[in-house]
């Protein structure tokens, strides 16, 4: 088992990575919590024991259910059960579960403690760590949410044994992102060590910039590398693309755009394609997507400051680049069409 600390002063918490770490759950819950609300989905059967009275609350599968309606339904169910601020929420599932349950926990009674047990690769390396919670609007991804740090995150790698191949590939889209934030080649590590390395990178970035300072070029926003187009593709395809699949294409797009802006050379673009190929991720836009709509969606991205804003590779590494000209953004879309 590897333990990584997310250092946030009095709100610091551990991320445990390894086989069987879900058995540590009872030990990380608040001693005063007499009830645990287990938020999960019908198809998730990972056995957990919070060591106190608990009840299972299910949310529907699919990105279409990552909504304010789902948050309201959870909060009303908790109220009917009698969950209090002294109790705890335990989110068991992928990024959708930890995002929705985390946001509901942040809002219910103005804040109930939450512990995340991600069951997908994507959740382990990204969604469950860092305190970002939220839901979608028809206008875009994660536009409503809150920062609500968990008490702990338990990344039990046993859960990956039964993960469908496509869900595993989606997580690999997020892992691919970390290759361009890491000091060494993550492909040289086994999967568990790769997960731990990604968690360490995210923990360090979050500790330095918890709330994603919009004026910082190398703060938390660098964790959105590949996400500007990725999020737009998710919306434009009606979420037919999984998050990590869309991020993979977004990484290829970011490399093409960076080269067009003179920030990286052909060799660095080739390195992006090497990593994406290793994870069997697509690097081309799906057929039939509307470029006008993609540009519009990218313009509404949360990072957008004074026009189109991207996280791009460059001489100083990955950083936020505001004010990208629309013709360049469109030309890079054409390159990956």
Given the residues 132, 194, 259, 302, select the one marked as catalytic.
132
Name the residue with tokens 């991320």: 15
Helix, strand, or coil here: 27? helix
Given the residues 227, 259, 263, 303, select the one marked as catalytic.
227
Given the residues 35, 136, 224, 259, select the one marked as catalytic.
224
66 as an active site residue: the answer is no
Given the residues 22, 169, 194, 202, select the one marked as catalytic.
202
Given the residues 35, 66, 177, 220, select the one marked as catalytic.
220
Of residues 213, 220, 229, the one with CA closest to residue 293: 229
Cβ(304)–Cβ(143) under 8 Å? no
Strands 114-118 and 132-137: unpaired
Q: What is the DSSP string of 10-66?
A: GG-EEEEEETTGGGGHHHHS-TT--EEEEEE-TT-------SSEEEEEE--SSGGG-
Given the residues 22, 169, 243, 272, select the one marked as catalytic.
243
Given the residues 63, 210, 212, 234, select the one marked as catalytic.
212
Given the residues 141, 231, 272, 303, select the one marked as catalytic.
231
Q: If 0-12 CB within 10 Å is exposed, 13-18 middle and 19+ buried, where does residue 84 land?
A: middle
Given the residues 174, 234, 236, 319, select the one marked as catalytic.
174
132 as an active site residue: the answer is yes
110 as an active site residue: the answer is yes
116 as an active site residue: the answer is no
Q: Residues of 257-268 as b/e, b for ≥16 C-beta within 10 angstroms?
A: bbbbbebbeeee
224 as an active site residue: the answer is yes
227 as an active site residue: the answer is yes
303 as an active site residue: the answer is no
Q: Which residues are catalytic?
A: 110, 132, 174, 202, 212, 220, 224, 227, 231, 243
């Amino acid at each position: 088992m590897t333990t990584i600390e997310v250092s946030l002063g009095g709100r610091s918490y551990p991320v445990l990575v390894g086989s069987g770490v879900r058995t540590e759950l009872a030990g990380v819950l608040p001693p005063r919590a007499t009830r645990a609300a287990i938020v999960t989905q019908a198809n998730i059967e990972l056995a957990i024991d919070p060591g106190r009275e608990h009840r299972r609350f299910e949310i529907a599968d699919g990105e279409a259910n990552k909504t304010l309606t789902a948050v309201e339904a959870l909060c009303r169910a908790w109220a009917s059960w009698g969950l209090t601020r002294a109790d705890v929420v335990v989110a068991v599932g992928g990024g959708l579960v930890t995002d929705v349950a985390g946001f509901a926990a942040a809002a219910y009674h103005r804040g109930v403690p939450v512990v995340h047990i991600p069951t997908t690769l994507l959740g382990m390396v990204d969604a469950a760590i860092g305190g970002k919670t939220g839901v979608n609007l028809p206008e875009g991804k994660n536009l409503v949410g809150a920062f609500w740090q968990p008490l702990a995150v338990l990344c039990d790698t046993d859960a990956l044994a039964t993960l469908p191949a496509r869900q595993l590939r989606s997580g690999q889209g997020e892992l691919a992102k970390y290759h361009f934030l890491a000091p060494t080649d993550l492909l040289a590590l086994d999967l568990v060590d790769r997960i731990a390395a990604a968690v360490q990178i995210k923990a360090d970035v979050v500790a330095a910039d918890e709330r994603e300072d919009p004026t910082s070029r190398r703060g938390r926003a660098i964790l959105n590398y590949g996400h500007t187009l990725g999020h737009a593709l998710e919306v434009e395809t009606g979420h037919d693309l999984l998050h990590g699949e869309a991020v993979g294409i977004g990484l290829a797009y970011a490399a093409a755009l960076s080269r067009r802006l003179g920030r990286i050379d052909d060799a660095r673009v080739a390195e992006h394609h090497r990593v994406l190929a290793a994870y069997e991720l697509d690097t081309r836009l799906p057929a039939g997507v509307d470029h006008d709509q993609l540009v519009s969606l990218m313009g509404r991205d949360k990072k957008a400051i004074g026009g189109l804003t991207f996280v791009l590779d460059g001489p100083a590494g990955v950083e936020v680049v505001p004010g990208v000209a629309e013709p360049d953004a469109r030309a890079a879309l054409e390159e990956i069409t």
